Structure 1
Amino acid sequence: MLTSIANTAAGLSVLRKFVFDVFPLVDRELECWRQAAGGGRRELTEQALDSIHLKKFHCQGGSVYSLYRGVPTAKFVRLVVALQTISDYLDNLCDRAGITDEPAFRQLHLAMTDALDPEAQIHDYYAYYPYQDDGGYLRRLVETCRQEITNLPSYPVVKPEILRQAGFYSELQTYKHLHPDVREEKMLAWINTHLPSYPGISPWEFAAATGSTLGMFMLCAAACDSDLTQEKAGQIAQAYFPWINGLHILLDYFIDNAEDRLNGDLNFVSYYKDSEETKSRLRFFGQQALTQAKTLPHPAFAETVVSGLFAMYLSDPKTDAPAEKAIKQQLLKSAGFYSNFMYQLCRYLRTKKKL
């Protein structure tokens, strides 16, 4: 009981700072990128502006790591917003421009790994893309990430794992946006080369884990500690991939499943055979994520992040539909007091238009 009270107090503190201190910083950074997005071709400008307008939630969520112990909040928000904006912009370029070209997608996503490797050569990201003049927008995003990374004293400790996760992310985005006739076969061929290292999860659960940027943000936050050891970095990597990363994206796909079914969009949760399996596997990932969170250097923060994932996604109005609501209720029942407390807070914040 004392642990629950302590976690609740920690959660309230994090949530208050998150909403009232961090969200305005996110807004400020996004406004800067909104102004920077208008210097190139109309097609690219539209996608850049749409990604900022429609996916602000992603930048807000990732910026919770600016509240990790020892992290300079404002500077870290700048890194998170730049990297997440690269991710969201590239997603739009692959998903909304009527293009299904694998070399173009692969080349575009070199921006993700370039952004996380200050020593890497800058690539021509639009080399195979039909529109190429963005007024320097994507390169500025990449360079901003690289500048902020140079301020992380222990980045060399986490860099190999960050680049591994960024590589997985880029592979996923390359394959998932291909034509529906070929994407599943290509994705499975790629996934099955890695799946033996992750027993107990399905191919589509592995794919979900690769689709999250949370592990990258957490490792960058940990790298603010000049005394970070390889052992601690390894603990973080193991906790996030596949468990916390996987929970993040599975919840994201869960709330979008009905909408994606109508639109014919790829959705990893749709591969579960029925609602019972969906509930069982989401609960399993949630339990694994919470168990792993308790092993991390600052467990109260890690548990707050995991409980926050349940709270943020399950408080979304999309989960009020009958089929989703039944699963939501079961997930909250198994998630424990802290997640339910955070869930009620998020529902309240949504009524106040804070989320």
Structure 2
Amino acid sequence: MTALKKYARLEATGLWRASPDAQRREVIVSIGDATLVISDLKDQALTHWSLAAVERANPGKTPAIFHPDGDPSETVELPENEGEMIEAIETLRRAIEKSRPRPGRVRWMGVLASVMLVGWLAVFWLPGALQDHTLGVVPEVKRVEIGRALLKRIERVSGPVCSDTGGLAALALLSSRLQAGRLAVLPDMAQDSLHLPGDLILLDRGVLEDFEEPDVAAGYIVTELSRRDASDPLRDLLNVAGLRENFRLLTTGVLSEAALDAYAEHLMTAPATKPDLAAQLARFERAALRSTPYAYARDITGETTLSLIEGDPMNGKLTEPLISDANWLRLQAICGS
């Protein structure tokens, strides 16, 4: 998007609040690659918001208050003297909004054309071809929306996402170090880790609190990344939801509540798929991360994870700490007491 390049170096000072009961703190707001980056005064990223999902709580008023779509509890305020950044965000929001399909005659013609196309595919191609077509046209913003909807359902069982401010900042640092995208920690998840559409990886608090070093939690993250590399998370969802939901998503852009409920339950109860060992170890090597701590965390005897121990790409090599000890302690306390 041309507008993104125009504002690539723009920065502004604002006030960020992670939740309604959290203290506001001064931050630097900048525009990244399709994201709004919120950093502390030491230039350490606190959070990233997708530009496609940024909403303004008080249009036309100052200080301008922005929040992620669907989550007005987290806000950033930009004062009147940061008018250039406010206008930049509004310009990008308008550009994204214009790119979205509009209701009306053109939309109905598009829906009709999609229905005809789907009918032809259903007759002459295998269901896999229909699924491939759907995955090819679903935009990233829709994947993020689906991932967020699944997370809300998982939270009903696991409890709400852990949101200690210091812990979130440390989590952002770990995500940046591993190039893992969006991470979230849940207090009582049935699985150690999960990945959802929209580049979202979930961790149970136990993988942070039950171990003395961050390499174990990082191992769970890297392993989820290797699973995500092997199979598109949205494809996994459609495989479980079936052909009807595939058709619904392609023609209407939404999945039924029942399908989302069923898939969230599936994620929480189905055994995790075993990643390809070579791909998994390649991910560890790319992250310059030891696989041995993760292997012993999975099996204290090492018997069932011997291949991860013997194949450790960092064996005999010096590795840099993932995060500082202070940030590791903050991360372990992300869910509070």
> Which category describes the TM-score, using the shorter chain as reference length?
0.3 to 0.5
Q: Which has the higher helix share?
A: 1
Q: Which has the higher strand share?
A: 2
Name the TM-score, length of structure 1 as normaliser: 0.32
Name the TM-score, length of structure 2 as normaliser: 0.33
